[in-house]
Structures are given as C-alpha cells and as structure tokens.
Amino acid sequence: MNTDQVFQFLELLASEPSKNAKVELLEEFLEDETFKKVCQYAYNPHQNYGVLKFDMPSVVLEDGIFEGGSWNLLDKLAARDLTGGLALELIQLHMLLLSADSQSLFLRILKKDLRGGFTAKSLNKACPGLIREFPYMRCSTMVEVPLDKIDWSDGLYSQEKADGMFVNIDKVDDDSPLMITTRRGHRLPIVVREPLSVGYQYHGEALVVNSMGLVHDRKTGNGILNRLLKGNEEALAEGEYVTFKVWDMVQLNAPLSAMPYIVRYDQLVTATKQCADISVISTFQVFNKTDAESHCRDIIEAGGEGTVLKMKHGFWKNGTSREQVKLKAERDCELLVVGMKEGQGKYAGTLGAMLCESSEGILKVSVSGFTDEERDAFWENKLSSEPMIITVRFNETIIDKQKNWSLFLPRYVEVRHDKTEADNFETIHAL
C-alpha cells in the first residue's frame, strides 16, 4: 500500500458510520506497514510537529508518494531540528513533490488528525499496543461514595481541586529535564529541572502564572498550555511561566504497587521540599463530614472549584477509585460535540451553539457561552471529522421540553484535547 492508497482507505473509513465496522476495517488495514506507520506518526502522543497553520499548495508539480525523505522531514519536525520559517518553507517544497492525495495525507499527519472518524483507542482495539495509552486515576462522586458512609476515625486528606491541566511528571534521571505529559500523553514542550526523586512519576496540574504573579483562570491558562502543546513557542507572554501543583507520586512503570496514600503523600512532601516551581496541592486533614464540607465551601468562596477527599489507606489504581471523592458546587462533565448551530442576529455567519451528547446519546444539550474569537474559530473548523470533546459546566441534570435528559445552565469551559470519549449519562447524573 502506498500513501495515495492510504489516503483513499482513510476516506473509506470516514464514510463508515459503524464503530464496530471501523475497527474491523482497521484490523485489516493495519496489516499493511505503510498504513500502520501513518497511524503511528499521526497518533503517537510524544510526536508533535509544531505546525499550527499550513495551507495545501495550490499546485502539484509531481505525482509522488511518501519516500524516505517524507518520514525524515516529519522526524526532524518532531525533534524540533526544524522550526519556524525554515520548517514551513521545507514543508511547502516537499509537498510540491507529492500527489494531491499524498499532500492531503501529509497535512493530516502534521495536524495529527487523519480525519478517518477513529481515535487512538480504536487503533488499539484493532492492534493492541499500537499507540501508547496512559493510566489515570479518577475520583468517585458523593453519589457513588456518600460522605455519611465514610469511616472518619483516622481522618482524611481534603485537597483543593486544582483548576488547571492534568499532567504526568516523569523524573527519569538527574541529568535530563522532567518529561511532562498530558493525560493523553502529549508532551508539554517546556524545559523544567527540579530536584525530585528519580524513578518516580508525579501527578498534578499545570497552571500558568502571569507577570503579576497571579495564576490565570482555567480557561485562560489551559488555552496558553494548549497553544504550547500545538507548537506555538510564543504562547507564554513575557513574565509568564508554568508552575505545578502535585498530589501523588508512584514508581515509574509500577503504579499499582501496594503503597497506601499516607505513605505516598509523606514521600511527596519530602520530594518537593527543594523545588522552585513544583509544590504539593493545598491539603488539610478532616475528621468528619462537617469539616470536609466546610473546607470545600471555603475553597469555593475563594474562587476555587471544590475539594477532593482522599482516604489515607487508598492505593493507586487505573480507573475510578472509591478511595478519593470529589466535592464541588457547580459540576463539570465531558460531552461529545455532534453538531454546530449557526448563530442569529449579530452572531449570524458564526457559531451560535454546539449540539452535544453524552457518550451513549441519552443526554442531549445545546451549549453556548463562547467568546467572539472562539465562535469564529469553531465555525471555521466545523467540518472537521475528528471527534471533539468539550467540558461543560452545569448546575444539574433536567428533563427538557422534548422529554430528553438535558442540563440546566450549561456553559462551555474548554476543549478537552486530552480526552477522546465523552462521559456517559450515568456518570453525569451522579455528579
């Protein structure tokens, strides 16, 4: 299979409405080494090409397919051996040598969006282990773990729920900078050196501090971090920097070791003591439901999102843990964008609202709350076939006039570049 044929097979996948059928087709196509290589270059979370905007050439000078030079150029872009104007010039020259289909494929790899209507999860279903996935421990809700059913006798840790971007921080050795990756494994391209304990992965959130020393709100800060992830080296303004609040640490490649949280927390305090830009999240001990709710209320009144209760005996696990419970007033959920509705009046010709659903389609809601810049940007890219997950903030689940489950006061928060699946209705209803 050459790259023209890979492009044609991607178009076939995009036209297939059944997820199961897509996986079956992927199983067949991934037996071809060129198709597999294209998928790896597009969806390897550690491989980003630093190209924010690039248009297709207006002409085709030759009718070529990918050769060694194509892959070599992508490797140099990913390694940042080529950046800026020189990178764009070499991309332009190289694409002139490709056929129209291979040009389109090259551009899709640069944008890390093959537009085939599938995700890395689908690829791993078809070919286990093809794309690296990253374990993550989620919190339970108060519905799943009622506060009056908790044993408070030994006390629990009550931690502020940070309002930034989740990151894994790997300390591989004393000589290399920290490897900082998102929940989906995309590497944050900043150089950070801190005297953490070697051989551990630290879990926390990245926050952006402005030139006045104040932490940006979630929407602003995560917007800056997402621009950094996409290769915009000037995303941080003068005087701005990234800081990290961490709450856990596990051994690299051995997160399931039987070490209770009270031990991990004490190690974390010691490991971060000499760090400049990495610190432990604000933590208190509480011994009853009243104190836990009071701490949560104090955080919310100070402008925070809420708190997370953590049981001292809790072990780390990949998945939802019943040993850590989130408390919050307003609630956030992740929904799949299934359509975009044009605005009216002054918003005619741009985005009016996003039509969103839970993962199984039980909950349906129209979401707004965008800035003018966001409206224009989303509307311009409304035809993208790549699934988009957004965070929606709401007050409660309701039944709408059409007798469907919906949300009361839904407000757009951000695009979740680190997620590929929406929450299901049961999860949202339990928040």
CATH code for the domain of 367? 2.40.50.140
Q: So what's the pLDDT on residue 36?
A: 96
CA 268 vs. chain centroid, Å, equals 24
Same domain, 60 and 177: no
Is 131 inside any structural domain? Answer: no
Q: Which tens digits make up the pLDDT trace of 366-382?
A: 999 999 999 999 998 88
Q: Give 124-180 pLDDT, tens digit per residue.
A: 999 998 988 788 899 998 878 888 889 999 999 999 988 899 999 999 898 889 999
**Integer CA distances (angstroms), 147 to 139, 150, 300, 331, in order:** 14, 5, 18, 17
Q: Do 233 and 197 sit in the same domain of this protein?
A: yes
Query: Domain containing 34: what range?
Result: 3-126
Instruction: Summarize the confidence of residues 199-225 as an average pLDDT.
Output: 93
- From 126, 155, 183, give the residue that closes a domain: 126
pLDDT, tens only, 385-417 = 778 999 998 877 888 888 889 988 789 999 998
Q: What is the pLDDT of residues 321-331, one digit of tens each?
A: 999 998 876 78
For residue 310, the model assigns a pLDDT of 97
Residue by residue, DSSP assigns 181-239 as EETT-PBP-------PPTTEEEEEEEEEE-TTS-BPPHHHHHHHHHHHHTT-TT-SPTT
Domain count within the chain: 3
Q: Are residues 152 and 238 in the same domain?
A: yes
**Model confidence pLDDT, tens digit, residues 250-265:** 988 765 567 999 999 9
Round the average pLDDT of the chain to a whole number and report it: 90
